[in-house]
Structures are given as structure tokens and as C-alpha cells.
Amino acid sequence: MQNTIEEIEQEFWGAPLKDASYLITTCHNLRRKNIDAFTIEDFRILIGQNIGLEILISKAIQILNKDILAEGDFYEGDLLKSVLTSRKDFWKVHPDLKNEMTRIYEENIGSLDELDTTDQVREGIKEAYEEFKKEIT
């Protein structure tokens, strides 16, 4: 059974360079981690870097369907923002996932006003959604 992004994609990056940044090292390591063991933060990081979208977006949508404000290490709704700002070409070839993400957002828009966060974060998510809708419709 294929359980990691590397196994599923059959693309093996190998170890990062010794002087690689924290983000690069983390991405390399997450590609070798069992997806079933991913945390919300793991999804947020890789989706935010547009890595493994074919595998991870549908799983992230399942998480967001249960909790639109699912939180990685930064703030409530950070996974949502990563999904909404992921590569536009992905959404163009997956209109079913786009429609599902739109439905989840629209049904839960009220929750965004309840975010225990700054206006900047709240507005950033709303702006990301507006761009998401505009770019892929």
C-alpha cells in the first residue's frame, strides 16, 4: 500500500541539502511521512508550497468540511487560507473539488466572523476566497 506522497507520486526527492532551510527540510521530510499521520500543520505546509496537491487537497477538504477553521501552527483558519491560495491551475482541472470547497466556504462563512483573531487575518481569508472564486470561475 502506498502511504506517502513519494510512494504515490513515484517521485523521490532524496535528502535535502545540508544547508537547506527549515521549510525545504520540512517539505522533504513530509513527502516521506505516512499521510495518515499528517497533522493539520503538515497539510498546511505542503499545500502552502503547492506540493502534493493531487493527493492532499481532497483530504484537506474533508478536514475543512468538519472544521472550516482547522488550525495548524499559525492561526484558526490557516489551513483554509492555504487551500484557497493554492495553485490556480489545480482548481481548473478539478472543478468538482472547487465546487466542494465553494460549498463548504459558503455554508460556513458565518464562522469566519467568529474567529478569535485579528481583523487582518479575518480579512485575509475573505480576500483569499474572493480571489479563489474570481480566478477559477
Note down the domain range covering 94: 5-136
pLDDT tens digits along 28-86: 999 999 999 999 999 999 999 999 999 999 999 999 999 999 999 988 899 999 999 99
Neighbours of 4 (CB within 10 A): 18
pTM above 0.85, yes or no: yes
Residue from 105, 100, 86 nearest 45 by CA: 86
What does the longest C-alpha to C-alpha distance in the chain come to? 45
d(CA 130, CA 107): 15
Q: What pLDDT score does 119 carry?
A: 85
Q: How many domains does the chain have?
A: 1
Per-residue cell: 76: 484558526
Please give the backbone phi and psi of residue 10, each rounded to the nearest 5 degrees, phi first: 55, 40
Residue with cell 506522497: 5
pLDDT tens digits along 1-25: 669 999 999 999 988 999 999 999 9
